[in-house]
Amino acid sequence: MLFMFAFLCLSTSCNNRGLTTTANGTLVVTLPPIKYLVHEITGDDFPIEVMLPAGASPETYEPVPQQLIAAEKAQLIFTTGLLDFENALVTKLDPAVTTTQTHKVINLFVGMELLSENCDHTHAQTTNQDDAHTPGPPQNHHGQGIDPHIWMSPPRLIIMAKNVYSAFALLYPDSTKYTANYHKLIDKLSALNELIMIKLQASNVRSFIIYHPALTYYADDYGLTQISIEQEGKEPSVAKLKALITKAKEDKIDKIFYQSQFSQAVVQSVAREIGARMVEIDPLKEDVLTNLANITSMITGR
């Protein structure tokens, strides 16, 4: 009987993915939208901890010591690889941990062409899958900041999902569950991509105003012009603000998007000047597919 009990326990343990590795089985993700991708592929097989607290800005957040401890104990860490707080977290990890677990940190920007904050293309494209495990952001050879909001467009989410899946396929090559879930996720993202294209093509919208440029990749992928009030992380000069208002009136823009993590004073001023209404969006919502569908409806009015 004791032998049979031990055998059953061993069999259960071997079939319970996430409990057979040297790490504690927990997964760490830096942002809520990344949690969505990871959970869609793995289901409830792992506890998933999100580094960025609710209401915090990823541009200014600093990880606390408890999060560093959690990251060191985690089986995998998923990041965009582009945010300062992510890279601060990774560089502070115990070298002994990252050396013994060489595939611990997964940078999800790998394989996509990145854009600077003013929507210009950069030379930061990475195609080598091994680079997904290298801490630190890519270098922008134009001397401009790279826009980190890669999760705000379905074509980019497809690449991110591939990177997430590749990490689990490496650890669990025999898992048919993760493969099936990954393909279901790709189908959802592809369907959302089609829906967004249809809605935008049926609308007359070609540009939109937003305070913080969180939709750079969305605008680039769907042929829109993103007019950002914030300029390189700062409020615009008087001259740029006047030019922005003129452009908004010419394009007959009737709404301004903003995020609660940033000041609304300038948004309110511009909205009054052009007779537009303020519309709040949250790029950090966990259900990123529903969020992007809703944002598209707000942009197109459909």
Of 200-209, 260-269, 273-282, 283-292, least confident by mean pLDDT is 260-269
- Does residue 44 surpass a pLDDT of 70? yes
Reported as a single tens digit per residue, the pLDDT across 6-28 is 433 433 333 333 333 345 799 99
Q: Which pLDDT value is given to residue 139?
A: 52
Classify domain 14-193 at the CATH topology level.
Rossmann fold (3.40.50)
User: Does residue 200 register a pLDDT over 80?
Assistant: yes
pLDDT at 153: 98
- Structure-block tokens of residue 256: 């301004």
pLDDT tens figures, 212-237: 999 999 999 999 999 999 988 888 89
Contact present, 58 and 51 (Cβ < 8 Å): no
Mean pLDDT, residues 284-292: 98
Strands 255-258 and 207-210: parallel
> Among 76, 40, 80, which residue's Cα sits nearest to residue 58?
80
Give the max Cα distance, the chain: 83
pLDDT in tens, 178-196: 999 999 999 999 999 999 9
Q: Is the dihedral of CA 35, 40, 42, 45 positive or negative?
A: positive
State pLDDT tens for residues 92-111.
888 876 666 667 999 999 99
Q: Rounded CA gap, 223 and 217, in Å?
A: 10
Q: Is the pLDDT of residue 135 over 80?
A: no
Q: Do domains 14-193 and 204-300 have the same CATH topology?
A: yes
CATH number assigned to the domain with residue range 204-300, chosen from the 4 options 3.40.50.1820, 3.40.50.1980, 3.40.50.11890, 2.60.40.1120: 3.40.50.1980
In angstroms, the CA 281 to CA 292 distance is: 10
Among residues 279, 277, 281, 278, the alpha carbon closest in space to that of 292 is found at 281
Distance, CA of 156 to CA of 150 (rounded, Å): 6
The domain spans of the chain are 14-193, 204-300
Cα-based angle 18, 20, 25 (whole degrees, multiple of 5): 35
Report yes or no: 97 and 124 within 8 Å, Cβ to Cβ. no
Name, in order, each residue with C-beta under 8 angstroms of 69's C-beta and a sequence gap of 6 or more: none
Q: What is the pLDDT of residues 136-150, one digit of tens each?
A: 556 543 345 899 999
CA dist list (Å): 143 to 120, 125, 139, 140, 262: 11, 15, 9, 6, 25
Is the model's pLDDT at 302 over the cut of 90? no
